[in-house]
Structure 1
Amino acid sequence: MKKYLGILFSLLFLFGCERPKGFTLKKITSNYEPSEKWEVTPTLSEETLLKILDQPYIYLGSGNHTYAFESFDGKFVIKFFKQKHMRIQTPFLSQAKIEKRKNEREESFNSYIIAYTHLKEETGLLFLHLNKTNHLGISLKLIDQHGTSTEINLDEMEFLIQKRASLAFDYLGTLIEHGAYGDALIGIRSLLNVVAKRNQMGIYDKDLQFFKNFGFINGQAVEIDIGEYKIGVDVPNTYEELLRLSYQISEFVGEKAPALVSVVESEMNEIISQYKPKNLA
């Protein structure tokens, strides 16, 4: 049976029936029932939420776990989860595959709960909607990567809303290119401090990548990819995690402004040394 299914799928690909690439509405639609463990208490007023969502959202890009859309006014980002990684109501899935997808959904949603509960300011997270509901009553206009408009009922979707951040790579790069070295150093200190604060809370991010997972909002560093947090696990000590980040920052500065590397490394070492374990002193 498996042999014939394989032949059938191969023929479908050959004759142009392959899955569409990039964002589609189907890829963010789920069939999961609501669960009490994914409920959170909103901190935004209904009026504020309606104002944030009373505008079109334009396709921005995709990450490991989500498709992101930017608000027309450029102030917010709404992210919808890639359900293909979590969908279990699919024919011919093995039990092992079903369990893997359940675990992936569990880990991702737990991460969003951690961010919402402990790291709102550090992630720019404003609103979290992990269960289908019937009280929002909001239809949102999305404009996809092809410029096509789609109206979606947000009650039926799982999503999150964050403040729009400038990627750390772009933000610091622009400051360095314009000779604003003092502001760049402030930004780098902010990056290290936001990671140190999270680490000291016992929260681990296994995907610590400066180039794509950090941003800046009004000069303050934030972590914008929030799908890999874990709590209650063995967390690398703060010193080790900051060292990992500092190597990435040094490499970046070396490419942008080699003459600035020694100054940046001196600034970073001043912060990192505060967390150096006594047995390494």
Structure 2
Amino acid sequence: MDAKVLILKKLFLSFLFCFAALCLYTFCRSQTDGFTIAKIRSSPSFSFSCPPKQAEEFSPKIFEQPFFYLGSGAQTFAFVSEDGKYVLKLFSHHKGRHPLQGIAFALPPPWKKRLEATVAKRERRLINNFNGYAIASEYFFDESGLLYLHLAKGNELQKTVTLYDKIGVVHKIDLDEVEFVLQKKADLIYPTLALWIAEESLEKSEQALTELVALLHTRGRRGIYDKDPDLETNFGFVDSVPIQFDTGRFKKSSALDPRTSTEELIRITDRLCQWLDEKCPPLADHVRKTVGEES
């Protein structure tokens, strides 16, 4: 009987230990938003062919200031510069990996095959994200607010940047050793328009919305298709000039994209127009009129 009690105690303590470890991991992950240096480092086998590209206004001195954690997206961790002008995006390479990859050789064939298929799918998703930014680099550079594109390791910059994560821990990153994108920081479309409407800056709003529709039309004319054209989360204004800062889902067509039709522009701007119908109907009418003129 005593032996059984001892075994039960050991099992209970083991359970408590595992539960505490899980709670600690969950807490740390929530506090840091999952960011770690290991997650932004690509594996030695990872390769993406794309030469670095920089805007005329880019200066390496930008990286002499610290960057602070801003948030995470589907494929990147984002940090904003101390002066609030720039966003540094570091790719989440861990999303292209699987925790069981290291023991794949020891798994039964059906499990190994399934694991390899999962890893391949994750790697394709990561490469597709890189392709999207490469397309933006070649065909939509200024319109996406790009300042520096670094999709392959090299030794061009020879710069180290200081990052502060979500809980204020400092990280020093050799920029030549990671893949990243530097962009102008944009203010999101909806909050910015809400501010302008509250300030009764209707003329400024109309001009910005006209340029936003023109941006969408330009993207289509250049044969770029976006699988995720969400104006609320993927677009913003730099001062009052619109940009699309999330280009990870860009696809390139060899011909003019038929989605540049009036119907497609209406679809992309429909939610915005509905929001403007409630906030400022004249601006909603302006967008609809501009869409018709752009077609």
Bucket of the pairwise TM-score, normalised by the shorter protein: 0.7 to 0.9
Is 1:24 paired with 2:36? yes
Tell me how many residue pairs correspond in the alignment: 261
Q: What residue is the counterpart of 1:39 in the other structure?
A: 50
Q: What residue is the counterpart of 2:82 in the other structure?
A: 72
Q: What residue is the counterpart of 1:109 in the other structure?
A: 130
**Residues 105 and 254 (structure 1), Cα distance of their counterparts in 2 relative to 1, 3 Å cut:** same
Q: What residue is the counterpart of 1:59 in the other structure?
A: 69
Letter of the 1:239 counterpart? T
Is 1:207 paired with 2:228? yes
CA drift of 1:97 comes to 0.8
- Runs of 5+ in structure 1 lacking a partner? 1-9, 277-281
Any conservation in 1 of the 2:136–2:250 contact (CA below 8 Å)? Answer: yes
- Structure 2 counterpart of 1:95, from 95, 116, 119: 116
Q: What residue is the counterpart of 2:12 in the other structure?
A: none
Letter of the 2:89 counterpart? K
CA drift of 1:43 comes to 3.3
**Residues 75 and 267 (structure 1), Cα distance of their counterparts in 2 relative to 1, 3 Å cut:** same
Any conservation in 1 of the 2:53–2:150 contact (CA below 8 Å)? Answer: no
Distance 1:13 1:146 in 2: 25
- Aligned-CA RMSD value: 2.4
Give matches, 1:80-91, under 5 Å: 80-87=90-97, 90-91=101-102
- Structure 2 counterpart of 1:181, from 188, 199, 202: 202
Distance 2:159 2:81 in 1: 15
Q: Percent identity?
A: 31
Question: Residue by residue, what CA displacement relative to the aligned partner does 1:200-249 show, whole Å, maximum 9, x if unpaired?
Answer: 11101111111111100121110011111001286523323311232111
Give matches, 1:157-168, under 5 Å: 157-168=178-189
* TM-score (norm. length: structure 2): 0.80
Q: What residue is the counterpart of 2:239 in the other structure?
A: 218
- Runs of 5+ in structure 2 lacking a partner? 1-14, 105-111
1:210 partner SS: coil
Q: What residue is the counterpart of 1:143 in the other structure?
A: 164
Letter of the 1:71 counterpart? S
Is 1:239 paired with 2:262? yes
Letter of the 1:62 counterpart? S
Give matches, 1:251-266, under 5 Å: 251-255=274-278, 257=279, 260-261=280-281, 263-266=282-285
Any conservation in 2 of the 1:59–1:143 contact (CA below 8 Å)? Answer: yes
Letter of the 1:64 counterpart? A
* TM-score (norm. length: structure 1): 0.84
Distance 1:54 1:209 in 2: 33
CA drift of 1:13 comes to 6.2
Distance 1:44 1:232 in 2: 25
The structure with the largest alpha-carbon Rg is 2
1:38 partner SS: coil
